[in-house]
Amino acid sequence: MLWLIAGTIPRDDFELARGPFRLRGRRLECGGQILPVVRGTPALMAAAAATADVLGLAPLDAILAGDSGGGRGSRALYARLCGEPPSCRGVTFHYLLPDIQWHNSVLWALEALSPAPLLVADAGFMYAAKMSGFASHYDLFTPDAGEMAFLADERAPHPFYTRGFLLQEEERIPELIRMAYASENSARHLLVKGSTDHMVAHGRVVAEVGEPRTPAMEAIGGTGDTLTGMVTALLASGLGIPRACRTAALANRLLGVFGKPSPATGVGELISFLPQALEKAMADSA
Where in the chain are the domains? 3-284
Whole-angstrom Cα distance, residue 99 to residue 244? 29
Tell me the mean pLDDT in the region 141-150: 91
Alpha carbon dihedral 2, 243, 38, 45, in 10-degree steps, equals: 0
Burial degree of 114 (CB within 10 A; 0-12, 13-18, 19+): exposed
Q: Where are the alpha helices (DSSP H) in 26-166?
A: 41-55, 72-83, 100-111, 123-132, 145-152
pTM: 0.95
Could you read off the pLDDT of 186-217 as tens digits, one per residue? 999 999 999 999 999 999 999 999 999 999 99
According to the 3-state scheme, what is the secondary structure of 90-116?
EEEECCCCCCHHHHHHHHHHHHCCCCC
Architecture per CATH, 3-284: 3-Layer(aba) Sandwich (3.40)
Could you read off the pLDDT of 63-106 as tens digits, one per residue? 999 999 999 999 999 999 999 999 999 999 999 999 999 999 99
Supply the pLDDT for residue 104.
98
Q: Report the alpha-carbon angle 186-127-87, nearest 5.
A: 80
Whether the pLDDT of residue 52 is over 80: the answer is yes
- Residue 258 has phi, psi (to 5 degrees) of -80, -35
| Structure confidence at residue 233 as a pLDDT band (50, 70, 90) | very high
Whole-angstrom Cα distance, residue 242 to residue 234? 11
- Residue 274 has phi, psi (to 5 degrees) of -65, -45
Asked if 252 contacts 223 with a C-beta cutoff of 8 angstroms, the reply is yes
Supply the pLDDT for residue 145.
86
Supply the pLDDT for residue 285.
81
Whether the pLDDT of residue 162 is over 60: the answer is no
Supply the pLDDT for residue 146.
85
| Structure confidence at residue 159 as a pLDDT band (50, 70, 90) | low
Task: Calculate the average pLDDT of the chain.
Answer: 94
Supply the pLDDT for residue 62.
98
